[in-house]
C-alpha cells in the first residue's frame, strides 16, 4: 500500500450519551436557528421521546415543522414532498430524527433545497457528486435505531418510485454538522427491529473490514465494532438495558464510519430484496450475511482470522465465522432462509439482475459475477 496516495476522511462532531438529545434546543439557539424542519417517520412521530423533544423546542421559542410522510424504503417523491414543506414554511435547518429511512430522506432534502435538477442527476454511480456545488442548509442528525449509522454518513439511499432501484446520493457536504446520539431514544425499540438493525451494523463492520481499499484506520474501527456487537447484540435484543443499547448505538455508528472504505457482496444481495419485495434493509442483510461471508473466505483467510479473533471464536477460520453468524441469527430470531422472508424461486433471476447492477459489490474483496449472485440466492433460498 505504500506506493500509493490515499485520502482518509473522518466524520462530524458526535455528542454521545444518555440524555444528550436534550441539548438540541440550546444548540439551535446558539447557532441562531429557529425554524428547523424535523424529518421523521409516522411511527417515530408518535413516540413519547419525540413529542418531548418537540415540546422542549417549542418552549425555547423554536418554530418546528414536522415532515413524516415517508416510505419504509424511501423514494424520490418523499424527498420532493419534504422539500416543498421546507420551502412553503421557510425553514432554516433540517433535523433528521429517526431510523435510517428518515435520516436518508432528511439528507436528500438537505441536498435538494439548493440543487433543483432531477434528484438522480446527483446519483454517485454516474458521477453526480460533481454537481453538488451550492451551499446546503444546516443539518443535524438524531438516530433512533442502532443499525445504519446514517447519522454520520455522507450519502442517502433513495429509490426510484417506478423501478424501485436504489440510488446513492453522495457528497461530503451532506455530512451532518452535529450528531446527537442518545441511547435513551433506542430503549423501546421492538426486539425484531433491534435484531435486524443490529445485524445491519454487524454487516457494515464486517464488509468494511473486508472491503478492497486499504484503510487501516477504518479496519481498526471495524474490528472493534465487530467485537462490541458480539458482546451486546444478543443482550440488546433479548434483555435490553442502557449498557447494551449504548454499545449497539456506538457500534452502529462505528460501522458507518468504517464503511466509507466500502461495502460488499452482502449489501448487493440485500438491496434487491428491499427494491423488489420491500424487505427491511437490516433483515435482508441478516439473512444473507452467512452466505456472503462464506463466498468471501477463499483467498482472504488471513482477514477472517482477524474477524474470528474479534469474535473470540475458538477456531480462527472463515468457516467458524459463518457458523457463528448462523448461530447469532438463531439467538435473535432471524430466519436462516430467504424463503422464510417471502423470496420465491421465480424472483431469483430479477434479484440477480438487480444485484449485479448494485453499487456495493465493486468494493467486495472478491469479484462477484451475476452467476455468483444467482447461486448465492439459490443457496440461501
Ligand atoms: N445512508 C446510509 O449510509 C445507509 C446505510 C444503511 C441503510 N440505509 C437505509 O436505511 C434504511 C433502514 O433504516 P433502519 O434500519 O434504521 O430502519 P427504519 O428507518 O425503516 O426504521 C425501522 C422501524 O423502526 C421504527 N423506529 C425507529 N426508531 C424507533 C424507536 N426509537 N422506537 C421504536 N420504533 C422505532 C421506524 O418507525 C420503522 O418502523 C433503509 O432505507 C436503508 O436503505 C442507509
Ligand atoms: Fe446497511
The pLDDT tens digits of the residues spanning 319-334 come to 999 999 999 999 999 9
Average confidence score pLDDT of the chain: 96
- Ligand at shortest distance from the CA of 288: 2
The predicted pLDDT at position 166 comes to 84
Residue 10 has pLDDT above 80, yes or no: no
Answer yes or no: is the C-beta of 260 below 6 A from any ligand 1 atom: no
Half-sphere exposure in the Cβ direction for 181 (13 Å, CA): 25
Residue 9 has pLDDT above 90, yes or no: no
The predicted pLDDT at position 371 comes to 98
Q: Kindly give the interhelix angle for 216-238 and 301-310, rounded to the nearest 10 degrees.
A: 50
Answer yes or no: is the C-beta of 157 below 6 A from any ligand 1 atom: yes
How far, in Å, CA of 295 to CA of 285, rounded? 14
Nearest to 257 by CA among 289, 231, 221, 286: 221
The predicted pLDDT at position 12 comes to 86
The predicted pLDDT at position 118 comes to 97
Nearest to 152 by CA among 255, 30, 270: 255
- Ligand at shortest distance from the CA of 194: 1
Residue with the bigger pLDDT between 3 and 204: it is 204
* Residues around ligand 2, an ion, CB closer than 5 A: 200
17 touches 182 (CB < 8 A): yes
Answer yes or no: is the C-beta of 73 below 6 A from any ligand 1 atom: yes
- Ligand at shortest distance from the CA of 21: 1
| pLDDT classification of 179: cutoffs 50, 70, 90 | very high
Q: Whose CA is nearest to atom 15 of ligand 1?
A: 197
Answer yes or no: is the C-beta of 72 below 6 A from any ligand 1 atom: yes
How far, in Å, CA of 227 to CA of 264, rounded? 20
Percentage of the chain exceeding pLDDT 90: 93
Which triple of cell numbers denotes residue 42? 409516522
How far, in Å, CA of 178 to CA of 136, rounded? 14
**Which residues are 95's β-sheet partners?**
38, 140
Q: Which atom of ligand 1 is nearest to the CA of 188?
A: 32
Answer yes or no: is the C-beta of 372 below 6 A from any ligand 1 atom: no
Residue 1 has pLDDT above 70, yes or no: no
- The DSSP element (H or E) to which 110 belongs, if any, is helix 100-113
pLDDT digits (tens, 9 = 90+) for 98-132: 999 999 999 999 999 999 999 999 999 889 999 99
| pLDDT classification of 2: cutoffs 50, 70, 90 | low
The predicted pLDDT at position 188 comes to 92
258 touches 205 (CB < 8 A): yes
Which triple of cell numbers denotes residue 318? 472463515
Percentage of the chain exceeding pLDDT 70: 99
Residue 374 has pLDDT above 70, yes or no: yes
Q: Tell me the mean pLDDT in the region 25-36.
A: 98
- The DSSP element (H or E) to which 157 belongs, if any, is strand 155-159
Q: Tell me the mean pLDDT in the region 277-285.
A: 96
Q: Tell me the mean pLDDT in the region 150-173.
A: 92
Which pTM does this prediction carry? 0.96
Q: Tell me the mean pLDDT in the region 351-379.
A: 96
The predicted pLDDT at position 328 comes to 98
| pLDDT classification of 286: cutoffs 50, 70, 90 | very high
Q: Tell me the mean pLDDT in the region 204-223.
A: 96
| pLDDT classification of 6: cutoffs 50, 70, 90 | confident
What's the alpha-carbon Rg for the chain, to the nearest Å?
20
The predicted pLDDT at position 226 comes to 98
Q: Whose CA is nearest to atom 43 of ligand 1?
A: 157
| Coil/strand/helix, residue 21 | helix
Q: Are strands 155-159 and 166-170 parallel, antiparallel or unpaired?
A: antiparallel
Answer yes or no: is the C-beta of 101 below 6 A from any ligand 1 atom: yes
Answer yes or no: is the C-beta of 262 below 6 A from any ligand 1 atom: no
| Coil/strand/helix, residue 170 | strand
Q: Which of 11-15, 252-256, 342-346 has the lowest mean pLDDT?
A: 11-15
Residue 236 has pLDDT above 70, yes or no: yes
The predicted pLDDT at position 352 comes to 98
| pLDDT classification of 213: cutoffs 50, 70, 90 | confident
Amino acid at each position: 500500500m505504500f506506493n500509493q496516495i490515499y485520502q482518509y476522511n473522518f466524520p462530524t462532531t458526535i455528542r454521545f450519551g444518555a440524555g444528550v438529545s436534550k441539548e438540541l434546543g440550546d444548540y439551535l439557539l446558539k447557532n441562531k436557528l429557529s425554524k428547523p424542519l424535523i424529518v421523521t417517520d409516522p411511527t417515530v412521530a408518535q413516540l413519547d421521546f419525540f413529542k418531548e423533544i418537540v415540546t422542549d423546542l417549542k418552549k425555547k421559542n423554536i418554530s418546528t415543522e414536522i415532515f413524516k410522510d415517508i416510505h419504509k424504503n424511501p423514494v424520490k417523491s418523499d424527498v420532493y414532498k419534504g422539500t416543498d414543506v421546507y420551502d412553503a414554511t421557510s425553514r432554516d435547518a433540517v433535523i433528521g430524527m429517526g431510523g435510517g429511512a428518515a435520516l436518508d430522506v432528511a439528507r436528500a432534502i438537505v441536498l435538494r433545497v439548493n440543487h433543483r435538477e432531477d434528484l438522480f442527476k446527483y446519483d454517485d454511480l454516474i458521477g453526480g457528486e460533481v454537481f453538488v456545488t451550492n451551499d446546503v442548509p444546516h443539518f443535524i442528525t438524531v438516530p433512533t435505531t442502532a443499525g445504519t449509522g446514517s447519522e454520520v454518513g455522507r450519502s442517502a439511499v433513495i429509490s426510484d418510485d417506478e423501478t424501485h432501484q436504489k440510488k446513492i446520493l453522495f457528497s461530503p457536504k451532506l455530512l451532518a454538522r452535529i450528531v446527537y446520539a442518545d441511547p435513551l431514544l433506542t430503549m423501546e425499540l421492538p426486539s425484531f427491529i433491534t435484531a435486524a438493525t443490529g445485524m445491519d451494523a454487524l454487516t457494515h463492520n464486517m464488509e468494511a473490514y473486508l472491503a478492497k481499499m486499504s484503510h487501516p484506520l477504518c479496519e481498526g474501527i471495524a474490528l472493534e465494532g465487530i467485537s462490541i456487537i458480539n458482546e451486546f447484540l444478543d443482550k440488546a435484543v433479548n434483555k435490553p438495558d442502557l449498557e447494551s443499547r449504548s454499545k449497539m448505538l456506538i457500534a452502529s455508528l462505528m460501522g458507518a464510519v468504517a464503511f466509507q472504505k466500502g461495502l460488499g457482496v452482502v449489501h448487493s444481495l440485500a438491496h434487491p430484496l428491499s427494491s423488489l419485495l420491500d424487505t427491511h434493509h437490516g433483515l435482508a442483510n441478516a439473512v444473507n450475511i452467512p452466505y456472503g461471508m462464506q463466498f468471501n473466505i477463499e483467498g482472504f483467510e488471513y482477514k477472517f482470522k482477524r474477524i474470528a479473533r474479534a469474535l473470540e471464536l475458538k477456531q480462527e477460520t472463515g468457516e467458524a465465522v459463518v457458523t457463528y453468524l448462523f448461530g447469532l441469527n438463531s439467538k435473535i430470531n432471524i430466519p436462516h432462509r430467504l424463503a422464510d422472508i417471502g423470496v420465491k424461486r421465480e424472483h431469483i433471476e430479477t434479484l440477480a439482475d438487480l444485484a449485479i447492477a448494485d453499487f456495493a459489490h465493486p468494493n467486495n474483496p472478491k469479484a462477484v459475477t451475476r452467476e455468483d449472485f444467482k447461486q448465492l440466492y439459490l443457496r440461501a433460498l
